[in-house]
Amino acid sequence: MRKQQKILWIRRGIFVLLLVCAHLVQNTPGWFPSLFGIRAYFLLTFTVCLGLFEREIAGAMFGLFAGALWDTVSPLGDGYHAFLFLLVGAACGVLINTVMRNNLVTAFLLNTAAHLLYAALYAVLFVSAQGIDGAGWLFLRYFLPSALVSVLFTPIVYLIVRFVMRRTRVQSVYSVR
């Protein structure tokens, strides 16, 4: 195996370990404090940041993995998180390749959009569709603050992913010197 492929495998292995750690911190009771029942969604934040750096295909695959991790502890376990995170990872990669630049402001913008989309879709598809009374109040009281708290962790996650990307830089065959 060439040196570049080894570095790529090491980088992606580190990202998988980071996703597993984020999954454990997010979904294990007592590992991360929750304020009035509001929890941070670290897996979605990592998915967006990995999509920014790894681009479409790898971002989609990391999103699929992160969503599958979340689906393992989800009460429904129907693949909703895996599908949504796959789309978010791919969309972030496509946007960075075509329209946006990869910086912290873009990471904040895309994380905010992804978390609000997740919260709104989850409230509509799983709370309101099941006929739970007070779905709007639940959205405003739980889902929206959770999305906003999650966005606050964007700089930390972004800097971690950027650090790993810089330490495991791979020279492209087609790069101009």
Question: Tens of pLDDT along 133-152?
Answer: 777 777 888 889 999 999 99
Pick the more confident residue, 78 or 71.
Answer: 71
Give the model's pLDDT for residue 129.
72
Calpha distance 120→52 (Å, rounded): 22
CATH architecture of 3-167: Orthogonal Bundle (1.10)
The amino acid occupying position 75 is P
To the nearest whole percent, how much of the chain has pLDDT over 70?
A: 95
Average pLDDT value for residue range 42-65: 94
Instruction: Name 136's Cβ contacts closer than 8 Å, sequence gap at least 6.
Output: none
Q: Is pLDDT of 122 > 90?
A: no
The 3-state DSSP class for residue 157 equals helix
